[in-house]
Amino acid sequence: MIFSVKEASDQSGVNPTTIRMWEARYGWPKPGRRDNGYRYYLRHQVDELKRMKELIRQGHSIGHLIHEGLPLWPSDERPARPDVERLLAQLPAPRGAVAAEIRRHVDLALIHRDGLRLWEMALRTMWEVHPSEQALTGWLPYVVAAEAWEIAGQPLPDRARLEDHIQVHLRKLIGRQAGDALQVVPTEPTALTAALVAALLSTQHGHPARVEDELALPDAGAFVTVGRSAPDPARVRGDRYEGHLTLVDDPRHRQVAALIDQAAYGQAV
């Protein structure tokens, strides 16, 4: 659900002029923009406005509660801001000039949590980038950054709706794979897009893979899991299970990006 600035004001009790002033002075809250340029806010932003108003009423200064455009709540040591720029810099870049230019904008949108720019770049990736380069241009950077922001407690704006759109597109790119293709299983619902990206990378690098709608571990065939948490080792014993893949740094598992390197594929999973 999204709210206009007036609706956000009514819900939070913060005057619309004050909301705009905080945005201009402190870079917070950072609204999305409709096609007509009007601001909109998400539910969690309205809740944060309400919380900020209460803290100011208690005597806190907003200048001390906002750090680098993010709220620093009294119980926090620092705003939970992941190093998204470093994570994205570690990913391979696409080779094509158009793809590289779009990737640059994708990275900036992800670093700054710019929801509308993410939609624009997702559509440009679909329409302007060759399918063989789309994973490196948009989809892999997106799932890595989305996971980092999710872990930090600051999900990307409009994430669910954008990912629904991306998932439909990824399934078309992967296509129908034979029954003996590697099965990529997300370990939680929010990892479905990441599982599709992993299947796309694997398929495009010579190892056909598919993603089932079910989140349950398969009864037959080789499979890998993708997500924040690996399955219980007692449930995945046997030679059918080829390992777990993560999106962000985890010394216990390889990352989805390892699927890009064909030579490393046998060790990646």
**pLDDT (tens digit per residue) in 77-124:** 454 578 899 999 989 999 999 999 999 999 999 998 888 899 999 999
**164 and 149 co-located in one domain:** yes
Share of the chain above pLDDT 70, in %: 90
Domain end residue (candidates: 148, 170, 192): 170
Domain end residue (candidates: 71, 94, 128): 71
Asked if pLDDT for residue 264 goes beyond 50, the answer is: no
Q: Is 191 within a domain?
A: yes
Task: Report d(CA 193, CA 199) in Å as an integer.
Answer: 10
**241 and 186 co-located in one domain:** yes
Q: 123: domain range?
A: 84-170
Q: Is 76 within a domain?
A: no
SS (H, E, C) 115-150: HHHHHHHHHHHHHHCCHHHHHHHHHHHHHHHHHHHH
**178 and 250 co-located in one domain:** yes
**27 and 44 co-located in one domain:** yes
pTM of the full structure:
0.67
Asked if pLDDT for residue 248 goes beyond 50, the answer is: yes
Quick one: pLDDT band at residue 252, thresholds 50, 70, 90? low
